[in-house]
Amino acid sequence: MRGLAASEVLRRSLLSQVWGAESWVAVRCAGTYKPCENDTVSIVRKRGLDVLHDPIYNKGTAFPYSERERLGLRGLLPVKSLSMRMQVERWLDEFKYGRDYIDPANVKDEGITHEDCRRWKVLQELQDRNEQMFYHILLDSFEEMAPIIYTPTVGWACLNYHKLFRRPRGMYFSKLDRGEMAAMTYNWPSHEVDAIVVTDGSRILGLGDQGLNGLGISIGKLDLYVAAAGFHPRKVLPCVVDVGTDNVPLRADPLYMGIDSPRLKGDEYYDIMDEFVKAVMGRWPNAVLQFEDFSLQHAHPLLGRYRNHHLVFNDDIQGTAATACAGVYGALAVQGKLPPAIAEQRFVIVGAGSAGMGVTTMLSLCLIKHGQREQEARSQFWVLDAKGLITSERTDLTAVVQPFARQDEESSEGETLLEVVKRVKPTVLVGLSGVGKLFTQEVLKAMGEAQEQPIIMAMSNPISRLECTHASAQAATGGRAIYMAGSPQGAVEQNGKTICCSQANNMYIFPGLALGAHLAKSGVVSDLMLTAASEALPKLIPEADRKLGKVYPPLANIRAISRRVAADVIKTAHSEGKLHSKSALRELLRGDDALLDWVESMMYKPQYDSLIHLPVGIME
Ligand SMILES: NC(=O)C1=CN([C@@H]2O[C@H](COP(=O)(O)OP(=O)(O)OC[C@H]3O[C@@H](n4cnc5c(N)ncnc54)[C@H](O)[C@@H]3O)[C@@H](O)[C@H]2O)C=CC1
Ligand SMILES: CC(=O)C(=O)O
Ligand SMILES: [Mg+2]
């Protein structure tokens, strides 16, 4: 490449990525060549993903429906069929302008830079080309890579999925597939799927309704399943169920590839979700199914619908709850306190949604476990939503929120966060509102005045939605806060001292939890399994890290963390009579080390195996 300008190198690399696709021909002959569709026939002896991965035959999103049916492509592409003209325009946008669709005014806030986007594209290209190498790099440099494939950069990837789209990944189900979903699962080439992450795109991180674009979060989560917990990349399946979107500007974008209609509601919505769950669990009965980023309206009802008889969990409700409890125990340890001290804490929870109420409910169970009575435990929580403090004056509370509505005389309906913090003097402040900068300097100062070491958990994602940054929390509290954030934040220098922080993200829990439940063949994911996952984390924090104020174990050890979580989940399954794997039982009976070794041995390791060609007709 010597002698070529950087822009020319980029152009050539982009051209090579679409080499063979018809859009390449159109670009090369711009102005003279009019791609003429459907007047010639090509014989193709491939089907499904093999067609999509063959640059001679691949048309990306341009396959018409009839062809999708003929070639077994249904479910392997977003529902909307784009013209080649649209594809070319999308591609030229990057070719000519190198666009990454970052709003320059927002770059600093969002914490995502042009460099992050470039890195995301480089990693994406590698994942499409060589998964062993992709996961090898991810695992080797987990702390560096996770913010690119996961939050915060994955938020940007979802916002722009329709513009960044190059190659499909995972399965796309839609309301147009009613009655066909079970058959469609057979278009997926793998008979073995161990983990599925599904979203309907209705609440992607704190970024709201992103429709079909939400598939990006299923992909990011499963990248972590593989890197963090050793699921095999061939046996994970990202899914989106496209039931429309209420994001009107997104629908109006000609490049948007999802269904152009408002979201389905009511029975029609649940019928489609039922069909989806039945289809994927029917085809892959050993898979664990994770619900991701469903809006408040559907998150709890869906979990309740399936959790007692399917191997499912909701990451935002349950994974986040286990993560937050572990964070509180970790913070108490930093304060030099033992776990029972949790029973003395006062919690202000900002955000009464899926995540906020999941956290509130599980924390209250921790208090009960450490000696509080149910009513007493509940009285140690003050929960706020967009309308302020929630009290029993409200008449529209769901069964999940109702037990935590304040009934005491001191509390008044709709009190602001600042008023509540000043009055209650909480020891722990948790943000799961999806609203950035909600913890103002005044709120943080009040926390610092009330507590020697206030525990501040700004757990919303991505970075623009953090309730406060690490720097602002330390500035307002004179560097005394024990701070955690949903998306990564750096250390802060104050008065010549380096103050560390931790990332309170459910990635500490969901990979190991899913692995444990899958290996145990437990059939369901129980509350006790979540408790076990949560309690596993604080024990893994090295003493030196604790002294630095860290409340979670180092992310660089993510495989060891997931292994411990998985082993403890398996043990809990055993104690609950839900351990249905004979191998897991055998190892468990041999002791903890044997169980840990066995879990490790079941984890995929990214490496180059010797490949053997097996001619068709010869059995494995
Ligand atoms: N760190 C982590 O591991 C996780 C973080 N999250 C983040 O938590 C946030 C919320 O997620 P969900 O609970 O699923 O959303 P949700 O939509 O179910 O709930 C949001 C809640 O915040 C409340 N809210 C909105 N504006 C508010 C305001 N100004 N003041 C107080 N409350 C306000 C709403 O009334 C609602 O109760 C998102 O940003 C998400 O990315 C979610 C799951 C895991
Ligand atoms: C981390 C996560 O699951 C969320 O922000 O929704
Ligand atoms: Mg989520």
Burial (0-12, 13-18, 19+ Cβ within 10 Å), 458: buried
Burial (0-12, 13-18, 19+ Cβ within 10 Å), 148: buried
Output the pLDDT for position 12: 54
- Domain assignment present for residue 612? The answer is no
Q: Is the CB of 503 under 6 A from ligand 2?
A: no
pTM score, whole prediction:
0.93
Any binding-site annotation on 506? Answer: no
Whether residue 397 is found in the same domain as residue 248: no
Any binding-site annotation on 50? Answer: no
Whether residue 231 is found in the same domain as residue 199: yes
Whether residue 440 is found in the same domain as residue 363: yes
Whether residue 332 is found in the same domain as residue 472: yes
Whether residue 227 is found in the same domain as residue 275: yes
Q: Is 150 assigned a catalytic role?
A: yes
**CA count, 13 A, side-chain hemisphere, 261:** 10
Ligand 1, residues 294, 316, 361: which to mutate, most atoms within 8 A of Cβ?
316
- Domain assignment present for residue 275? The answer is yes
Which residues are CB-contacts of 383 (< 8 A; sequence separation ≥ 6)? 349, 352, 356, 357, 360, 389, 390, 401, 404, 405
Ligand 1, residues 297, 402, 432: which to mutate, most atoms within 8 A of Cβ?
432
- Domain assignment present for residue 54? The answer is no
Q: Is the CB of 205 under 6 A from ligand 2?
A: yes
Whether residue 480 is found in the same domain as residue 558: no
Range of the domain at 2: 1-41
Whether residue 416 is found in the same domain as residue 496: yes
- Domain assignment present for residue 65? The answer is no
Any binding-site annotation on 67? Answer: no
Q: Is the CB of 316 under 6 A from ligand 2?
A: yes
- Domain assignment present for residue 79? The answer is no
Output the pLDDT for position 617: 81
Among residues 248, 260, 221, which one has the least CA distance to residue 78?
260
Q: How far is the CA of 593 from the centre of ligand 1 (A)?
A: 39
Residue of 57, 135, 150, 508 marked catalytic:
150
- Domain assignment present for residue 57? The answer is no
**Residue 319 CA: which ligand 2 atom is closest?**
3
Q: Structurally, how many domains does the chain consist of? A: 4
Q: How far is the CA of 75 from the centre of ligand 1 (A)?
A: 31
Q: What is the 3-state secondary structure (H, E, C) of 491-556?
A: CEEECCEEECCEECCHHHCHHHHHHHHHHHCCCCCCHHHHHHHHHHCHHHCCHHHHHCCCCCCCHH
Whether residue 498 is found in the same domain as residue 572: no
Whether residue 239 is found in the same domain as residue 339: no
Output the pLDDT for position 94: 86
Q: Is 221 assigned a catalytic role?
A: yes
Any binding-site annotation on 505? Answer: yes
Q: Is the CB of 509 under 6 A from ligand 2?
A: no
Q: What is the CATH number of the domain that holds 157?
A: 3.40.50.10380
User: Closest Cα to atom 5, ligand 2: which residue?
Assistant: 205
- Domain assignment present for residue 196? The answer is yes
**Mean pLDDT per segment of 10 residues, for the chain of length 620 residues?**
51 48 38 52 94 96 95 96 94 86 62 89 96 97 97 95 95 96 97 98 97 98 98 98 98 96 97 98 98 97 98 98 98 97 98 98 97 97 98 96 97 98 98 97 98 98 96 97 97 94 98 98 98 97 96 97 98 98 98 98 96 84
Residue of 59, 80, 175, 221 marked catalytic:
221
